[in-house]
A and B are shown apart, each in its own frame.
Chain A
Amino acid sequence: MTVMTDIPAKIVYQRPEAFDPRVTHYCPGCTHGTAHRLVAEVLDEMGEVGNTIGVASVGCSVFAYNYFKFDFVEAAHGRAPAMATGVKRLLPERTVFTYQGDGDLASIGMGEIVGAASRGELLTVVFINNTNYGMTGGQMAPTTLPGQVTTSSPTGRDVARQGHPIQTAELLATLEGAAYVVRRSLHNVREVRRAKKAIRTAFETQKHKLGFSLVELLSTCPTNWRLSPAEARDWVEERMLPYFPLGDYKVTPAVAELKV
């Protein structure tokens, strides 16, 4: 017996309304999907679905525009914060966010994100740190850990030659225009719940015109890490957390007063 249909039951969780009824192209167990789901849940709960414009980037999330029931534009590699700046300045009452990977945001697009944060653009950025260029086959990214083997660092990242990984949230938090900059993770149920709350706070920061907001999310890439989805989550905990500590790197007093 699976289900007792004679006893009334209420739905306590269902697929968010903001999600298009379409299968994503993400690999099984990839937490890009989880991050998408959290964005959809938050925009549903805020009643912002009809008012939101997303800016997709280049990386595995290049097709993000296919998965939500609101408008999206697609930016050139790294340029999502610049494009989002234009959208938001022309349509200031819209909720505008970018969704960017670490290759997109912290490598080719580092200039754009620093500019947008320093200008205090009223944007929300969902930043997916999976320590590599997932889409193109798992090359080394600015976030690749010391010693980490990737397809372009086959003997492991050598920091003497290739530099140290960039801690993006810490870096952007130093900029005056940034109002809310935090790092969260998607590697277990507790952290997924905390990540959702941070995404909500980031969108509320924008809605209340308090400044630039960014949530860095530690995310898995089971395919390029050559791990099962469950092993990949453990790898986030064991390998990524020590170098990328979770925390609130910038919360202005006005943001701290928001009730979320």
Chain B
Amino acid sequence: MPAKGYIEVNELYCKACELCVTDCPFDVLALDMTRLTSKGYHPAYMVNPDACTGCGICAVSCPDAAITVYRYERQRPEA
């Protein structure tokens, strides 16, 4: 399935609480254990971007309003 949307995590705000990771119904997200934010957290990122539907559930979960959600205006062609 091609992605229907994507998210951006503002790493200024992300505190690695992992609630978005737990709540994404499509297992799109994970914490990036290879990087640290300026505050010393492993930020959330899209480990599996092709599964994102742009549903916005992660943004509802995020206590720090770190997530911006985008939805594609038209279908991305199959690779």
Q: Which residues of A contact B (CB under 8 A)?
A: 1-4, 7-16, 19, 21, 23-24, 26-34, 37, 40, 188-189, 192-193, 228-230, 233
B-side interface size class: 35 or more
Distance to closest chain A CB from B24 (angstroms) = 10
Number of residue pairs spanning A and B whose beta carbons lie under 8 angstroms apart: 98
For A10, list chain B residues within 8 Å (CB).
70-71, 73
Which of A12, A23, A34, A189 makes the CB contact (< 8 A) with B69? A12
Contact yes or no, B6 A3, CB < 8 A: yes
- Shortest Cβ distance from A178 into chain B, in angstroms? 29
In the bound complex, residues from chain B placing their C-beta under 8 Å from that of A28 are: 15-17, 41
State whether B10 touches A9 (Cβ < 8 A).
no
- Which A residue's beta carbon lies closest to that of B64? A33
Given contacts A3-B6, A12-B54, contact A30 B63 (CB under 8 A): yes
Q: Chain B residues with Cβ under 8 A from A23's Cβ?
A: 12-13, 39, 64
- Alpha-carbon separation in the docked complex, A229 to B64 (Å): 13
Report how far A192 CA is from B62 CA in the complex, Å.
10
CB < 8 Å neighbour of A189 from B5, B17, B60: B60
B49 with A2: CB separation less than 8 A = yes
